Amino acid sequence: MKYLVDPNVLTELSKKTPNQDVVAYINSLPKDDVFISVITLGEIIKGIKKTRDILKKEKLAGWYKKIRIVFDERIIDINEGVITVWGQDNRFMQSDASGT
């Protein structure tokens, strides 16, 4: 099975004291089965651009570079197939949340 990591998971893992359940779960997965998307990278860049604190911006930029290195060949580009699956999953999640 392949796993697409949400930006919130990456953020959690980067904390000084991350949630140990999240750390254990991610560490239990085969590295080659864990992916991020270009949208995740875009969200990180957006956060860096919004940050006004220069030191925090530099730290986030370093984190971004590290993520690019760690995930190297496991960054998913967006195409019609990917966005179709995302759209189907998104609808499923929304219908569950609303109870329909």
> What pLDDT does residue 59 have?
95
Contact 68, 38 (CB under 8 A): no
How far apart (Å, rounded) are the C-alpha atoms in residues 87 and 79? 12
- Residue pLDDT tens, the chain, 100 long: 899 999 999 999 999 999 999 999 999 999 999 999 999 999 999 999 999 999 999 999 999 999 999 999 999 998 888 778 777 765 444 544 444 4
How far apart (Å, rounded) are the C-alpha atoms in residues 74 and 72? 6
The amino acid sitting at 58 is E
Contact 1, 33 (CB under 8 A): yes
> What pLDDT does residue 84 have?
82
> What CATH number corresponds to the domain at position 33?
3.40.50.1010
Domain, as residue range, for 24: 3-98
Beta bridge partner(s), residue 3: 34
Contact 40, 10 (CB under 8 A): yes
The helix or strand, by DSSP H or E, that contains position 75, with its residue range, turns out to be: strand 75-76
Whole-structure pTM over 0.85, yes or no?
no
Could you give the number of structural domains in the chain? 1
